Amino acid sequence: MSIGQYSFEEYLSVVKSFHGYTAPGLAAGGFMVDLALSRMPGGVLFDAVSETRNCLPDAIQLLTPCTVGNGWLKIINLGRFALSLYDKHSGKGVRVFVDAQKIRAWPEVEAWLFKLKTKQEQDGQLLLEQIRQAGPELYGIETVLVQPQFLGKRRRGGIGCCNMCGEPYPIDDGAICRACAGETPYVVFGEANRSTVAWSRQ
């Protein structure tokens, strides 16, 4: 059983190095990405969508050129363990999802996906072995057409310096950056050395 260019064991080693541990979501995600790739026409420039923030984005980034950083991977958190690869121009693509009926034949996988057991109660080795044995059999595949508003990259406007913090930010966000507007995740305890520069670049 292989995933892309890797044997299953090699893929788990890559997963552990990249993700920090051999997460079952990445084991399953590897088969899902592989299935989607096998249905995509050769030579097509494609983007990807992950319908969850958990694990699947890393499987996509490991096995395709699509990453969050290059903008070819979009995470649209619908709460479903599913992903799509699609032609970045036409939007035609393939969606792969966990099939709730097929998964019933694999009790440890079912218990993991439906959270019927806590993480401590799960048999991690058995779970990975069932994912390996099932291979692509756990998943459904359908053709999709991605809506036009999700195609292409969002163009960045000009960059300026925030009137409050002085840091560069997209001026399309308004008079001040989003952090200074209250969206920061930080509580700042000290003052950084700042020199406020008023400039913008189109």
Q: What is the pLDDT of residues 10-48, one digit of tens each?
A: 999 999 999 988 999 999 999 999 999 999 998 899 999
Report the side by side order of strands in the sheet with 200-201. Answer: 168-170, 159-161, 200-201
- Burial class of residue 67 in the structure, from the number of CB atoms within 10 Å of its CB (0-12 exposed, 13-18 middle, 19+ buried): middle
Q: What is the pLDDT of residues 108-165, one digit of tens each?
A: 999 999 999 998 999 999 999 999 999 999 999 999 999 988 887 666 678 999 998 8
- Cα separation of 202 and 159, whole Å? 7
Q: What H or E segment, with its residue span, contains residue 139?
A: strand 139-145
pLDDT at site 188 = 67
- Cα separation of 88 and 92, whole Å? 8
- 57-71, 114-128, 161-175, 177-191: least confidently modelled range: 177-191
Residue 9 has pLDDT above 90, yes or no: yes
Q: What is the pLDDT of residues 86-113, one digit of tens each?
A: 999 999 999 999 999 999 999 999 999 9
In this structure, are residues 101 and 115 in contact, taking their beta carbons and an 8 Å threshold?
A: no
Domain boundaries, the chain: 2-150, 159-201
The class that CATH gives domain 2-150 is alpha beta
Report the chain's terminal Cα–Cα distance, integer Å.
51
